[in-house]
Amino acid sequence: MDMMTTMQERRSVRSFTNRALEPDIPELIAEMRSSTSFLPAIFTASIPMIYIPVQGQKTEEGVRLGTYGVIRGHQGMITGSCSNCDEEVLQFGYEMEKIILQLCNLGIGSCWLGGTFNRKLYSSYLQVPETQIIPAVIPIGYAADASRALDTIMRRLAGSDRRLPMGELFFRGDFDHPIDASSAERLWYRGLEMVRIAPSASNKQPWRGVVSAEGHQVHLYLHENPKYNRSLGYPIQLLDMGIAMTHLELAFHALSLPGSWHISDPCIDLPHDQLRYIASYTS
């Protein structure tokens, strides 16, 4: 599958078959991360990503790493730890989504969990230092054909099948000019559609983007919900922004618009104070 199709077909999977995963997942992840295109220069932290094989919710040592019953049948967990700051949580979201999409390309399903797991239990199992946090854990496995009633409830609660219209998310030149269907044939428009369908915590879709007048740059912003963003003690919406960066970059590459990330605030007038500049992509 090409990356555009992968992003279009990806869904959060909460019910898995009991089919075992291939044992080389850790090597696969290490290989992905060692590719030169994996990590842009704007990210400087070294974030450990760990794979934990599980069966029946238990690790090989018999430790029960549950998900409050939200996930069933997964065969492994991917997680990692980083400092509790915006930059590293952003990087965690970016790196993890790159891994998730490549696994998805191999037919392996997953679901981001930022809330429905016992953070303390995972921290103590992985002996995470007190200065670090586990922003999220990702159960992985092969998706079950039939989903459970709980999956439907979780999707309904988060409104997972709805996305904001393009014109509420993306703008041209400044925030006064929403993009409209007259740009639909442009390659960058098709790239931004892949950001629109990305996963986000509680499906809040906090990403906003301003495309430069000539169409070569996209400036990404967080439309923060301050109360929600701090509700778990770490900036969960920065995970969403890292995820959005990965979708944008992979889509633009697939559309023959390769480019790079930089952080240089274009100082565009902001219509309200919940918008925060994150990064820009130049192709």
Binding-site ranges for ligand FMN (CB under 6 A)? 11-12, 70, 111-116, 136, 154, 158, 160, 199-203, 236, 239-240, 243
User: Which residues does residue 140 pair with via DSSP β-bridges, in sequence order?
Assistant: 76, 110
Q: Which of 92, 36, 49 is nearest to 242 (CA)?
A: 92
Least distance CB 234 / ligand FMN (angstroms): 11
Least distance CB 176 / ligand FMN (angstroms): 29
Q: CB of 213: closest distance to ligand FMN in angstroms? A: 31
Q: Which is nearer to ligand FMN, 121 or 270 (CB)?
A: 121
Within 10 Å of residue 175's Cβ, how many Cβ atoms? 16
Minimum gap (Å) between residue 71 Cβ and ligand FMN: 8
Q: Which amino acid, 65?
A: L
Nearer to ligand FMN, 43 or 112 (CB): 112
Closer Cβ to ligand FMN, 29 or 90, answer by number: 90
Nearer to ligand FMN by Cβ, of 123 and 160: the residue is 160
Of the pair 11, 190, the CB lying nearest ligand FMN is at 11
Could you tell me the smallest distance in angstroms from the CB atom of residue 116 to ligand FMN? 4
Q: How many CA atoms lie within 13 A of 139 on its CB side?
A: 32
- Compare residues 52 and 257 and give the one whose CB is closer to ligand FMN: 52
Contact 38, 32 (CB under 8 A): yes
Cβ at position 12, least distance to ligand FMN in Å: 4
